[in-house]
Amino acid sequence: MTTSPETRFASIAETHLRARGVTSGTGFGGNQGLRFNGKVFAMLVRGELVVKLPRDRVADLTSSGVGRPFDAGKGRPMKEWLSVPTKHSRRWSALVDEAREFAGPSAGRS
């Protein structure tokens, strides 16, 4: 049985929503997303996971074929955002973990 992207994201979100400072809502536009202390760190866009990660990490994951820099429809890929298709959905949970860490104070971000 195949799990839809929405179901997979909802399951991941449920786990993260137990953590202090994490809330649900929208990411960019009306896309389903997760926020840490008000900052978006993960969202579902057009059936793909989109996460905010360090620029070098996005480049590494792009070059290894896991995803591609996210383009919010403005014709310019965003350097700290990675779009990960469902064929790599087994990695989604770990990538959302990384994104939350990047968004959090322990990662040197406010």
CATH number of 5-107: 3.90.1150.30
- Give CA–CA dist 8/97, Å, rounded: 14
Give the start-to-end residue ranges of the domains of the chain. Answer: 5-107
Amino acid type, 70: F
User: What pTM was estimated for this model as a whole?
Assistant: 0.90
Residue-wise pLDDT for 55-70, tens only, equals 999 999 999 999 999 9
pLDDT digits (tens, 9 = 90+) for 66-95: 999 999 888 888 999 999 999 999 999 999
pLDDT band at 108 (very low <50, low <70, confident <90, very high): very low
Q: Which of 30-34, 58-62, 68-72, 105-109 has the highest mean pLDDT?
A: 58-62
What helix, strand, coil percent values describe the chain, rounded to 5?
40, 30, 30
3-class secondary-structure state, position 44: strand
